[in-house]
């Protein structure tokens, strides 16, 4: 009797399983209606526009400096993207750059060999990331408050350590190597390789590992994640440590690139990092986003800045344009989400769609009978 | 005057989408009386209270207040009409004083336009004294006990001229003395000619306090009894009375070795000294009232919540504390009570949801990609006959029953040795309910041990091989299938153990 029931169920399963579609929308729609696609298109259009109308934009040197200038942001945004996907935020990364720069500079000044000094700075960054993580996960404070606090704290330490002095005199063969093109005449600097390698690392971690699935689950619903065996606090702690490590490594790179260790290195970088990530379609509420999108957001801002700069537009205007772009992208995303919800609620229940952006929770009342 | 009905409900109906929360509610409240409304969890009592209090609007039926039809759009209108609802957890402003809470939104002013604090204090003192519980008007609400907060709420409702006072399980969080005091207040209000609706699970209180008892079941009215003319047994029969034996396709399963062994599990203030065993192929039900600590026990076993002492063992191996990941490795699955908040990522796709708990198992060389996840998602969605369009359909687009199937699929995919299911059929339609029951029964047939929490007695009776009744954090009765009747279970759930024994 029981065996019968089971067999019947299993037979039905085979045909029913084949019925489910893999996706609710065709490939072209899923590809086109993505923030990543929109941003990449925007970058291409902007570059074409700049090449044809802005003088000197088409020079290899332009790309070289553009990448050199944006490299710190592109590196730092990688771990911060994961943090934002879990629903946390790390605003202390700019200060960690300054902190690491100070430690690196002082160690080097005290006669520590350069690689060891870099190692000390990176380990220091890991420790300050650990501090952030412990305050958020063990003490249970909101990450926004914690990292605003440590933003001031780490900057204060960095400036305090170095005072008004700047440490210079890093070996010129190293600093020149850092800023040099990949090969003679190439429009991309050495650091591009580092960005690509680290970006692939984080993209794999986020998109292709069980750990990354956990990161998304925490952002979608940390309670559901915990009930599904995701080690929520451990994951969040690891991400803050990774953020500290990458930001401090960026600090070492930044110091060498400009051959200058001062306490104000990396001032304000955290805002550029968050701007790039949000522009790249990562939901500030967590649960949604990709490394590709965040990187594209960073590249778009860098290209925009460079174009405006070459066109002779002042830095205050540049920041107005950057801010307006961000607001515009968020508003467009909001409207797109609203339209897709409207369309979906009109469509039949079964024709469910992928929503590009997180829906505002449906305030539909649920019967709660004890 | 005492013969006029203060409040009358006839044929009141309320549905939420496909779920009918209230089918045919009847209630006639007379002035100067205390009227009990009782029923199992999910009988529709809360929905009824919410309609009376203006939180919900009825879909059909008549609602008369003082003989006139009313239709409240919000709680403000209900309050203005003289209806006050006192909830189990009062909703005072913690930072304001008692007097300020009493007069919030209608503060008296002096001639000079300043707050008339003297008047507020005086009236607060008078009101609380009238209720026999003087409370310092200047105390912050924050430090008050729940009982005192309820007194403040009652005082507030009297001072705005409430005629009908609804108390929704007011005694659930009170100590014995506080209950006595509250009952004294209720009797005094009755003497003043007010109509009181008293919702409680505790029979002793209902019989000691109330004049009339209305019983509800499955969202419908069952009967109204004068307290003097009825007995506890009759009320219990009215609450559960229906044939429950053949609705549940319980299969005979071979009951084998112990799988889960819980010993002297204690979490201070939550549950104490809980010991039980679940064997392979066996369905063990934790029955009892909401708030008795059943879910808390299950959550501690799975490691979502910590516990103070005791041990949990799976097939003889200790399950570490507070680690759901470790519990899952040892073969425990957990279908939580709240599928929207704990079971599913509502804005994620079905595939993501089904494979979340098995993401480590599906990974190859540490990496996981969608094609590795797809077969599992497809198989489990199909086995449970989830009605959906595509594997990336968001979970929030599905009906409650289909959502619950996705949660079940997510845990069945882990191939558990022990599956804990907490209220597996809450808020889902009858058809899906039967499917879930058949599935759980089949699962036990394959040797899985099942620990089920349910507040629905028919479900408990129909599914369980053994019923453990939990009352106030302790297991007060263990009833094998043969002797577990609704009456026995309900009795053990509502009476102190020494009485039950």
Verify whether the Cβ–Cβ distance B356 to A213 is below 8 Å. yes
Q: Which is nearest to A281 in space by CA: A79, A26, A40, A23?
A: A40
Verify whether the Cβ–Cβ distance A358 to B357 is below 8 Å. no
pLDDT in tens, A105-127: 999 999 999 999 999 999 999 99
Which chain A residues are within 8 Å of B47, Cβ to Cβ? 367, 369
Calpha distance B358→B373 (Å, rounded): 9
How far away is chain A from the Cα of B334, in angstroms, using its nearest Cα? 8
Verify whether the Cβ–Cβ distance A2 to B346 is below 8 Å. no
Nearest to A24 among B334, B345, B392 (CB): B392
Block means of pLDDT (10 residues each) for chain A, length 370 residues?
38 60 79 81 91 85 87 96 96 96 94 94 97 96 95 95 86 84 80 94 96 96 94 96 97 92 91 92 90 94 89 85 83 73 46 33 39
Verify whether the Cβ–Cβ distance A21 to B391 is below 8 Å. yes
How far away is chain A from the Cα of B152, in angstroms, using its nearest Cα? 24
Verify whether the Cβ–Cβ distance B16 to A365 is below 8 Å. yes
What 3-state class would DSSP assign to B43?
A: coil
* pLDDT at A86 (0 to 100): 96
ipTM of model: 0.80
Nearest to B393 among A224, A287, A352 (CB): A352
Kindly state the helix (H) or strand (E) to which residue B30 belongs, with its residue range.
Answer: strand B19-30
How far away is chain B from the Cα of A71, in angstroms, using its nearest Cα? 28
CB-based burial, B6-37: b 16+ in 10 Å, e otherwise: bbbbeebbbebeebbbbbbbbbbbbbbbbbbb
Q: At what angle do helices A210-220 and A60-85 cross, to 10 degrees?
A: 70
Verify whether the Cβ–Cβ distance A365 to B56 is below 8 Å. yes
Verify whether the Cβ–Cβ distance A227 to B343 is below 8 Å. yes
Residue B250 DSSP label: P
Q: Chain B, 41-70: which have a CB under 8 Å from a chain A CB?
A: 41-47, 56
Verify whether the Cβ–Cβ distance A23 to B389 is below 8 Å. no
How far away is chain A from the Cα of B195, in angstroms, using its nearest Cα? 23
Which chain B residues are within 8 Å of A12, Cβ to Cβ? 382, 385
* pLDDT at A362 (0 to 100): 40
Tell me the CA distances in angstroms from A354 to A36, A196, A206, A295, B382, one per residue in order: 15, 30, 20, 23, 20
Tokens linked to B231:
């007995």
Which chain A residues are within 8 Å of B19, Cβ to Cβ? 367
Verify whether the Cβ–Cβ distance A2 to B445 is below 8 Å. yes
Q: Which residue of B has its CA nearest to A350?
A: B389
Tell me the CA distances in angstroms from B175 to A6, B37, B38, B178, B476, one per residue in order: 52, 21, 21, 5, 19
Which chain B residues are within 8 Å of A221, Cβ to Cβ? 341-342, 344-346
Residue B359 contacts A, CB cutoff 8 Å: yes
Nearest to A369 among B44, B366, B389 (CB): B44
Which chain A residues are within 8 Å of B356, Cβ to Cβ? 213, 217, 224-225, 228, 230
Q: Chain B, 379-438: which have a CB under 8 Å from a chain A CB?
A: 379, 381-383, 385, 387-394, 396-397, 399, 410, 427
Q: Which residue of A has its CA nearest to B392?
A: A23
Contact status, residue B23 vs residue B219, Cβ threshold 8 Å: yes
* pLDDT at B284 (0 to 100): 95
Q: At what angle do helices B370-383 and B400-412 cross, to 10 degrees?
A: 120
pTM of the model: 0.73
Which chain B residues are within 8 Å of A19, Cβ to Cβ? 382
How far away is chain B from the Cα of A13, in angstroms, using its nearest Cα? 5
* pLDDT at B466 (0 to 100): 93
Verify whether the Cβ–Cβ distance B342 to A358 is below 8 Å. no
Verify whether the Cβ–Cβ distance A367 to B47 is below 8 Å. yes
Which chain A residues are within 8 Å of B409, Cβ to Cβ? none
Verify whether the Cβ–Cβ distance A229 to B44 is below 8 Å. no
Q: Which residue of B has its CA nearest to A223?
A: B342
Nearest to B345 among A17, A24, A217 (CB): A217
Among B250, B359, B364, B384, pick the best mutation site for testing chain A contact (most A Cβ within 10 A). B359
Residue B367 contacts A, CB cutoff 8 Å: yes
Residues 6+ apart with CB under 8 A from A16: B382, B385
Residues 6+ apart with CB under 8 A from B264: B273, B274, B275, B309, B310, B311
Block means of pLDDT (10 residues each) for chain B, length 501 residues?
76 78 88 89 80 90 90 89 84 88 85 87 88 86 83 88 89 75 90 91 85 88 90 80 55 86 92 94 89 90 94 94 94 92 91 93 91 91 85 84 91 95 79 82 92 86 90 90 84 66 39
Calpha distance B171→B89 (Å, rounded): 10
Nearest to B390 among A12, A24, A221 (CB): A24
Tokens linked to A22:
């893999």
CATH of B253-331+416-501, one of 3.40.718.10, 3.40.50.300, 3.90.550.10, 3.40.710.10: 3.40.50.300
Verify whether the Cβ–Cβ distance A17 to B455 is below 8 Å. no
Number of H helices, E strands in chain B: 18, 20
CATH topology of domain B5-92+144-240: Rossmann fold (3.40.50)
Q: Which is nearest to B335 in space by CA: B255, B450, B248?
A: B450
Vertex A357: Cα angle to A85 and A294 (nearest 5)? 45
pLDDT in tens, A36-58: 888 899 899 999 998 898 888 88
Per-residue H/E/C for B411-470: HHCCCCCEEEEECCCCCCCHHHHHHHHHHHHHHHHCCCEEEEECCCHHHHHHHCCEEEEE
Residues B25, B26, B32, B35, CA torsion sign: negative
Question: Which residues make up the CATH 3.40.50.300 domain(s) of chain B?
Answer: 5-92+144-240, 253-331+416-501
* pLDDT at B243 (0 to 100): 43
* pLDDT at B18 (0 to 100): 61
Residue B262 DSSP label: E
Calpha distance B377→B393 (Å, rounded): 12
């Amino acid at each position: 009797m029981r065996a019968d029931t089971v067999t019947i169920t299993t037979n039905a399963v085979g045909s029913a399983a084949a019925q489910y579609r893999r996706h609710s929308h065709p490939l072209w729609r899923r590809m086109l209606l993505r923030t990543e696609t929109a941003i990449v298109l925007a970058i291409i259009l902007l570059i074409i526009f700049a090449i044809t109308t802005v003088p000197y934009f088409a020079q290899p040197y332009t790309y070289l400096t553009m990448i050199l200038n944006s490299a710190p942001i592109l590196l730092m945004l990688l771990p911060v993207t994961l943090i934002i996907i879990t629903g946390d935020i790390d605003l202390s990364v700019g200060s960690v750059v300054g902190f690491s720069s100070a430690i690196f500079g002082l160690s080097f000044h005290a006669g520590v060999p350069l690689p060891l000094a870099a190692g000390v700075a990176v380990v220091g960054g890991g420790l300050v990331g650990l501090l952030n993580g412990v305050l958020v996960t063990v003490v249970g404070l909101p990450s926004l408050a914690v990292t605003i606090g440590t933003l001031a704290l780490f900057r204060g330490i960095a400036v305090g350590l170095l005072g008004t002095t700047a440490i210079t005199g890093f070996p010129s063969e190293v600093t020149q190597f850092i800023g040099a093109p990949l090969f003679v005449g190439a429009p991309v600097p050495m650091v591009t390789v580092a960005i690509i390698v680290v970006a692939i690392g984080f993209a794999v971690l986020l998109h292709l590992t069980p750990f990354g699935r956990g990161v998304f689950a925490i952002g979608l619903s940390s309670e559901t994640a915990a009930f599904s065996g995701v080690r929520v606090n451990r994951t969040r702690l690891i991400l803050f440590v990774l953020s500290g490590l990458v930001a401090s490594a960026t600090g070492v790179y930044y110091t060498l690139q400009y051959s200058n260790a001062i306490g104000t290195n990396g001032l304000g970088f955290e805002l550029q990092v968050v701007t790039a990530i949000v522009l790249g379609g990562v939901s500030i509420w967590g649960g949604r986003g990709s490394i590709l999108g965040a990187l594209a957001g960073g590249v778009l801002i860098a290209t925009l800045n460079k174009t405006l700069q070459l066109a002779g537009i002042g830095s205050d205007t540049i920041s107005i344009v950057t801010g307006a772009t961000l607001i515009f992208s968020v508003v467009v995303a909001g409207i797109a989400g609203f339209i897709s919800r409207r369309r979906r609620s009109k469509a039949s229940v079964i024709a469910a769609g992928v929503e590009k952006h997180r829906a505002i929770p449906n305030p539909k009342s649920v019967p709660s009978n004890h | 005057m005492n013969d006029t009905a203060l409040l009358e409900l006839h044929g009141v109906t309320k549905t939420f989408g496909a779920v009918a929360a209230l089918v045919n509610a009847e209630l006639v409240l007379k002035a100067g009386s205390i009227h009990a409304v009782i029923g199992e969890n999910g009988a529709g009592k809360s929905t009824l209270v919410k309609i009376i209090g203006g939180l919900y609007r009825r879909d059909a039926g008549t609602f008369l207040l003082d003989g006139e039809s009313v239709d409240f759009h919000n709680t403000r209108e209900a309050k203005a009409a003289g209806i006050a609802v006192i909830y189990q957890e009062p909703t005072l402003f913690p930072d304001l004083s008692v007097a300020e809470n009493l007069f919030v939104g209608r503060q008296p002013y002096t001639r000079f336009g300043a707050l008339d604090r003297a008047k507020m204090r005086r009236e607060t003192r008078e009101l609380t004294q009238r209720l026999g519980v003087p409370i310092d008007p200047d105390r912050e609400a924050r430090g008050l006990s729940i009982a005192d907060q309820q007194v403040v709420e009652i005082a507030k409702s009297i001072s705005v001229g409430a005629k009908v006072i609804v108390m929704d399980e007011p005694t659930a969080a009170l100590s014995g003395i506080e209950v006595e005091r509250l009952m004294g207040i209720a009797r005094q209000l009755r003497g003043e000619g007010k109509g009181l609706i008293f919702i409680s699970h505790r029979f002793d209180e209902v019989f000691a306090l109330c004049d009339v008892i209305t019983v509800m079941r499955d969202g419908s009215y069952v009967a109204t009894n004068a307290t003097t003319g009825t007995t506890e047994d009759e009320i219990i029969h009215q609450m559960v009375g229906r044939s429950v034996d053949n609705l549940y396709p319980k299969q005979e399963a071979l009951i084998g070795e112990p799988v889960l062994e819980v010993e002297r599990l204690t979490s201070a203030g939550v549950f104490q000294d809980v010991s039980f065993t679940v064997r392979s192929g066996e369905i063990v039900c934790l029955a009892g009232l909401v708030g008795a600590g059943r879910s808390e026990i299950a959550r501690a076993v799975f490691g979502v919540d910590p516990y103070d002492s005791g041990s949990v063992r799976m097939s003889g191996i200790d399950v570490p504390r507070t680690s759901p990941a470790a519990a899952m490795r040892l073969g425990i699955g957990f279908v939580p009570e709240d599928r929207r908040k704990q079971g599913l990522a509502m804005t994620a796709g079905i595939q993501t949801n089904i494979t979340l708990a098995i993401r480590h198992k599906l990974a190859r060389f540490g990496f996981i990609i969608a094609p590795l996840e797809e077969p599992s998602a497809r198989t489990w969605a199909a086995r449970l006959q989830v009605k959906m369009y595509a594997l990336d359909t968001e979970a929030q687009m599905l009906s409650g029953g289909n959502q619950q199937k996705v949660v079940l699929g997510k845990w069945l995919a882990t191939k558990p040795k022990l599956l804990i299911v907490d209220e597996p059929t809450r808020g889902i339609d009858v058809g899906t309910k039967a499917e879930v029951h058949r599935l759980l029964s089949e699962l036990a047939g394959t040797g899985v041990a099942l620990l089920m929490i349910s507040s629905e007695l028919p479900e408990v009776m129909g599914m369980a091989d053994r019923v453990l009744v939990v009352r106030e954090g302790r297991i007060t009765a263990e009833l094998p299938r043969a002797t577990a009747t609704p009456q026995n279970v309900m009795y053990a759930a509502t009476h102190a153990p020494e009485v039950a024994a």
